[in-house]
């Protein structure tokens, strides 16, 4: 199958110290209709990888090496005008905190409709109908379109974020810890919603998470990151059941299992430091 | 002394919320609705539930950090509400709390040594040198060193700060420790370290834990008994094994099914 998105040897450093690599030679690819999960601890560079795909790195950070190809096009070569056409239109993005990513003074109907107006020129009744359809699709009654974000629960706000990001039927969705702030029951609803949309719209999905339970439920492929580098990549079965890299093994040993039978084993960082992490 | 170190009977707590247009109306929210729990000596009782279920309110009410609207808390057989205030203050050294957010619960202007010693100072335990020695011993036990005592909280990572929070609570040799989501802000690798540390300390100091959490995977590893809360009520309680293997209530079943990481095993 053809690749939707390919990241080749992506390296991100801080602008004032170019040898301080926060993301180091990361390569991964995403296919349509498949979910790739990026897992790692905080500070491992998962979110920075996602942000650099979208060209949303902050001013203190710079990409020093590597390419991001979307449908064969190098995203860095695009003008900011062209990039804006891809962002939200062809690549949707969901952020971690539904509380802070929505504008509190605009109705959710307006916010869901905005990408439709901007990218596809929808207006009036057509726009209204489309917004209602999107709300229904993510499981919010269409008559809530006039509600403000503070009138919704955390799970509903995250659904609004999902509705916004899929409004233009993007080819790819980047979700950065979309369920971390939510209760488990809401989390499982949101994950199955995303999984369903992936299948019905044949989207490629890049899901960033630190929860191995989530990985095992929704991922097709898994990329494990540690201190800015990819230490292991492969199918979900391969990585979770037959991990090769000592870091992946150690990380999996820390995860409490549902049955409560496996003893917890914390990571011995001194031992990890001695290992050579592939750069 | 009975086998239960802490007992709560029929706890009630209401919050009044403004409602209606312009907030002219008021609605009563029942945060705790006839909640009764029993904590066995040297064991761990987990309180689980979703956000808004009243778990944190329960924690605060048990320690008398918030006034109750009804019910009583018995610590070693004595009703805490009946104690005169100076006696309650004395008892507080036996009732400690470990907080969720290791970034918000440590005073940024105090050195770690001061933070850990403060409890000893307040309770008038030991002289200056003894307090220092005690704090140092506790900090070493949780994995920090003497040089860390002069540092400020911002110099530490999340996991280390949680260790400081644990040292602060345990330096007083308490009997009951309420842990309010102590590992939910941490990475899994750090989470495993802290959980094991809590378990070891429980054995060494024969502590009784009330462990508030929304993560049912963590609870399974640390707790002996469990209370499931929903909308301010206790919907189910029992031993870990009973509740996980044969949950009686539909709500508990849903909660257990929603734990991520089970779909593939079932398929």
DSSP element (H, E) containing A128: helix A124-137
Q: Which of A99-103, A131-135, B60-64 has the lowest mean pLDDT?
A: A99-103
Q: Is the domain B38-266 a CATH 3.40.50.300 member?
A: yes
Total-model pTM = 0.84
Lowest mean pLDDT among A45-59, A88-102, A138-152, A257-271: A257-271
Place of tokens 């933070």: B115
Write down the pLDDT at residue A277. 53
d(CA B238, CA A55): 52
> Chain B: nearest CA to A28, how far in angstroms?
23
Higher pLDDT, B151 or B21: B151
Average pLDDT across chain A, whole number = 89
Q: How many Cβ pairs within 8 Å bridge chains A and B?
A: 99
pLDDT tens by residue, A206-257: 999 988 999 999 999 999 999 899 999 999 999 999 999 999 999 998 888 8
Interface touch B263/A265, C-beta < 8 Å: no
Instruction: For the sheet with A35-39, list strands across it.
Output: A91-94, A172-176, A204-209, A35-39, A221-226, A229-235
Report the half-sphere exposure of A95 (CA within 13 A, side-chain side).
Answer: 11
Residue B260 has its nearest CB partner, among A188, A250, A251, at: A188
The rounded percent of chain A whose pLDDT value lies above 90 is 51
In three-state secondary structure terms, A245 is coil
Q: How confident is the model at residue B267 (pLDDT cuts 50, 70, 90)?
A: very low
Looking at CA atoms only, how far is residue A128 from chain B in angstroms? 27
Percent of the residues in chain A that have a pLDDT greater than 70, as a whole number:
97
Q: What is the pLDDT of residue A279?
A: 41
Chain B positions touching A216 (Cβ under 8 A) are 260-261, 263-264
User: Model confidence over B18-64: pLDDT tens digits?
Assistant: 777 777 778 888 899 999 999 999 999 999 998 888 898 999 999 98
Provide the pLDDT for residue B145: 92
**Best of B264, B265, B267 to disrupt the A interface by mutation (most A CBs within 10 Å)?**
B264
Cα A117 from Cα B195, distance rounded (Å): 50
Give the pLDDT of residue B2.
60
* pLDDT at residue A261 in the model: 74
What strands, in cross-sheet order, belong to the sheet with A17-30? A17-30, A5-14, A61-70, A73-74
Strand-strand pairing, B233-239 and B225-230: antiparallel
**What is the reported pLDDT for A56?**
86
- From CA A214, how far away is CA A207, in angstroms rounded? 10
For residues B165 and B102, is the Cβ–Cβ distance under 8 A?
yes
Q: What is the mean pLDDT of residues B1-26?
A: 83
How confident is the model at residue A271, as a pLDDT?
Answer: 73
Inter-chain residue contact B189 with A258, CB threshold 8 Å: no
Q: Please judge whether B263 and A216 are an interchain contact, meaning their C-beta atoms are less than 8 angstroms apart.
A: yes
Closest-CA residue of chain B to A213: B261
């Amino acid at each position: 199958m053809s690749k939707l998105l390919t990241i080749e040897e992506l390296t991100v450093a801080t602008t004032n110290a170019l040898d301080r690599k926060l993301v180091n030679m990361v390569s991964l690819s995403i296919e349509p209709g498949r979910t790739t999960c990026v897992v790692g601890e905080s500070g491992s560079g998962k979110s920075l990888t996602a942000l650099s795909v979208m060209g949303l790195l902050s001013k203190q950070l710079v990409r020093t090496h590597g390419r991001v190809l979307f449908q064969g096009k190098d995203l860095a070569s695009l003008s900011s005008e062209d990039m804006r056409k891809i962002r939200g239109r062809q690549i949707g993005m969901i952020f971690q905190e539904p509380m802070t990513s929505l504008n509190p003074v605009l109705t959710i109907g307006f916010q869901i409709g905005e990408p439709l107006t901007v990218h596809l020129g929808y207006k009036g009744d057509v726009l209204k109908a489309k917004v209602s359809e999107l709300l229904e699709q993510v499981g919010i009654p269409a008559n809530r379109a006039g509600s403000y974000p503070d009138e919704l629960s955390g799970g509903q706000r995250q659904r609004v974020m999902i509705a916004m990001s899929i409004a233009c039927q993007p080819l790819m969705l980047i979700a950065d810890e979309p369920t971390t702030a939510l209760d488990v029951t809401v989390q499982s609803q949101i994950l199955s919603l995303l999984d369903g949309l992936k299948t019905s719209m044949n989207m490629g999905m890049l899901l960033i998470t630190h929860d191995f339970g989530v990985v095992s439920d929704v991922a097709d492929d898994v990329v494990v990151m540690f201190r800015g580098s990819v230490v292991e990549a492969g199918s979900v079965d391969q990585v979770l059941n037959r991990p090769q890299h000592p870091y992946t093994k150690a990380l999996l040993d820390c995860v409490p299992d549902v049955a409560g039978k496996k003893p917890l084993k914390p990571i011995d960082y001194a031992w990890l430091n001695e290992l050579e992490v592939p750069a | 002394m009975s086998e239960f170190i802490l007992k709560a009977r029929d706890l009630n707590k209401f919050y009044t919320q403004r409602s209606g247009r312009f907030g002219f109306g008021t609605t009563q929210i029942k945060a705790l609705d006839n909640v009764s729990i029993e904590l066995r000596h040297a064991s761990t009782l987990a309180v689980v539930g979703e956000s808004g279920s009243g778990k944190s309110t329960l924690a605060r009410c048990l320690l008398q950090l918030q006034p109750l609207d009804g019910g009583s808390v018995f610590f070693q057989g004595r009703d805490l509400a009946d104690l005169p205030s100076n006696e309650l203050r004395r008892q507080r050294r036996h009732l400690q709390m470990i907080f969720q957010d290791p970034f918000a619960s440590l005073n940024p202007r105090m050195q770690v040594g001061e933070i850990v010693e403060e409890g000893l100072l307040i309770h008038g335990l030991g002289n200056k040198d003894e307090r220092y020695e005690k704090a140092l011993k506790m900090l070493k036990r949780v994995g920090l060193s003497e040089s860390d005592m002069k540092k400020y909280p911002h110099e530490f990572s999340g996991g280390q700060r949680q260790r400081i929070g644990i040292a602060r609570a345990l330096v007083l040799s308490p009997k009951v420790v309420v842990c309010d989501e102590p590992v939910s802000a941490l990475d899994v690798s750090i989470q495993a370290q802290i959980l094991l540390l809590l378990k070891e300390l429980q054995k060494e100091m024969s502590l009784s834990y009330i462990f508030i959490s929304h993560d049912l995977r963590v609870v399974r590893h640390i707790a002996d008994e469990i209370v499931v809360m929903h909308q301010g009520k206790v919907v189910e309680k029992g031993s870990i094994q009973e509740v996980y293997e044969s949950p009686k209530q539909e709500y508990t079943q849903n909660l257990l099914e929603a734990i991520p990481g089970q779909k593939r095993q079932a398929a």
